[in-house]
């Protein structure tokens, strides 16, 4: 592997191994098995596949997991009732409602119905607020994974200029807030650019660390970065590729070849940020189980 590549697969595997080991110790010392509940609504193939991967990770880490699938016609009340049952179930430490939900369901209302202590996706407004004001919180998994990639690759963030391109609630805003905190492994100067920024190159060229989450191929090309930049590419895009059996391949939001040639470090797609999300879900669930055991 090229020397400047940040290997998300290896880092994710290391985190899952740590979680597995700590779960074993939690079982032995305190008789607690972390439990994660999944709610799937409807038959979205991508959602089913994501939940299967998460179930496999639970098995690997030694967690107990349960999946309930409701039909796409399930009412909001049925969904809320299911979440309520898990909110009071002492064997369940994490609740994950796989998004998106059908159009007739108010996603915000469902997310807000999850106990913040079991909100292992980190989307509940209580956890979002705690993140912003620097209190201990369950962090959303993809940004938490990006943070771990930087930490574990020994990339200094203190005093560095981090430019985030994209301001979604699941990636851009939370990673900006994580890196802005006055804390070890953060303490960066953060700029957030988005589609109203006009010439985004004016921002990306100033970045010491550039995090790109737009969902658009080639949002950042080589002329838009300085030498020695660290690049985290969050994008997952399908592009047609007749040479592949499936007829497509997956690329990120960054021109990997061009930008990679100038970068001090870069995440590949696939194999960069992608594998981190599930690892952080496992870490969040273990943390939630520990906190429950401590009565916090």
Active site residue 148: no
Residue 34 interacts with ligand NAP (CB under 6 A)? Answer: no
Q: Please, what is the minimum distance in Å from the beta carbon of residue 274 to ligand NAP?
A: 4
> Active site includes 27?
no
- 3-state DSSP assignment of residue 201: helix
Options 16, 54, 118, 173, the catalytic residue: 54
Residue 62 binds ligand NAP (CB under 6 A):
no
Q: Virtual CA dihedral for 154, 281, 266, 7, nearest 10 degrees?
A: 80
Question: What's the closest the beta carbon of residue 29 comes to ligand NAP, in angstroms?
Answer: 32
The answer to whether 213 and 205 have CB atoms below 8 angstroms apart is: no
165 near ligand NAP, judged by CB under 6 A? yes
Q: x/- binding map, residues 85-104, to ligand NAP, per CB under 6 A?
A: --------------------
Closest CA to 208 of 161, 252, 251, 255: 161
- Phi/psi for 249 (5° steps) reads -135, 165
| Cα end-to-end distance, the chain, whole Å | 43
- CA of 58: how far to CAs of 10, 25, 39, 53, 175, in Å? 18, 16, 15, 9, 25
Which of 29, 93, 86 is closest to 63 using CA atoms?
93
Q: Using the rule CB under 6 A, give the single segment among 29-37, 52-60, 230-238, 288-296 that binds ligand NAP.
A: 230-238
Q: Which residues contact 100 (CB under 8 A, 6 or more apart)?
A: 44, 47, 107
Residues 91 and 64 sit within 8 Å (Cβ to Cβ): yes
Residue choice 135, 195, 199, 202 for contact with ligand NAP (CB under 6 A): 195
Q: Does 214 bind ligand NAP (CB under 6 A)?
A: yes
Of 36, 171, 231, 282, the residue at the interface with ligand NAP (CB under 6 A) is 171
Contacting residue, 11, 101, 193, 288, with ligand NAP by CB under 6 A: 193
Contact 101, 41 (CB under 8 A): yes
Contacts of 41 by beta carbon, 8 Å cutoff, 6+ apart = 69, 70, 71, 72, 74, 79, 97, 98, 101, 102, 105
Residues in contact with ligand NAP, shown as a per-residue x/- string from 256 to 285 under the rule CB under 6 A: -----------------xx--x--------
Has 227 been annotated as catalytic? no
Residue 157 binds ligand NAP (CB under 6 A) = no
Q: Closer to ligand NAP at the Cβ: 87 or 237?
A: 237
Q: Which is nearer to ligand NAP, 110 or 176 (CB)?
A: 176
* Closer CB to ligand NAP, 144 or 286, in the complex: 144
Site for ligand NAP, rule CB under 6 A: 142, 165-168, 170-172, 193-197, 200, 213-216, 219, 234-237, 273-274, 277
Residues involved in catalysis: 54, 98, 121
């Amino acid at each position: 592997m090229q020397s400047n590549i940040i290997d998300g697969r290896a880092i994710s595997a290391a985190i899952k191994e740590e979680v597995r080991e700590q779960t074993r110790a939690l079982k032995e010392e305190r008789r607690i098995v972390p439990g994660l509940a999944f709610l799937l609504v409807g038959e979205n193939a991508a959602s089913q596949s994501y939940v299967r991967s998460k179930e496999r990770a639970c098995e690997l880490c030694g967690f107990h997991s349960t999946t309930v699938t409701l039909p796409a016609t399930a009412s909001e009340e049925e969904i809320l009732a299911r979440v309520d049952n898990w909110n009071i179930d002492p064997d369940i430490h994490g609740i994950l409602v796989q998004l998106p939900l059908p159009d007739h369901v108010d996603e915000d209302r469902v997310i807000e119905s999850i106990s913040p202590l079991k909100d292992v996706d980190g989307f509940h407004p209580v956890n979002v607020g705690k993140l912003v004001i620097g209190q201990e919180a369950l962090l959303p998994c993809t940004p938490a994974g990006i943070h771990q990639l930087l930490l574990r690759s020994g990339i200094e963030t203190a005093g560095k200029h981090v430019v985030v391109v994209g301001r979604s609630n699941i990636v851009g805003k939370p990673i900006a807030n994580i890196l802005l905190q006055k804390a070890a492994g953060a303490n960066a100067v953060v700029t957030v650019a988005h589609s109203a920024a006009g010439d985004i190159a004016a921002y990306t060229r100033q970045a010491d660390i550039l995090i790109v989450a737009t969902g658009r191929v080639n949002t950042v090309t080589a002329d838009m970065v300085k030498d020695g930049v660290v690049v985290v590419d969050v994008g997952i895009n399908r592009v047609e590729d007749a040479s592949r059996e499936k007829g497509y391949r997956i690329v990120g939001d960054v021109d990997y070849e061009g930008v990679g040639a100038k970068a001090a470090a870069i995440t590949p797609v696939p194999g960069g940020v992608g594998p981190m999300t599930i690892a952080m879900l496992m870490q969040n669930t273990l943390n939630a189980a520990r906190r429950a055991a401590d009565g916090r």
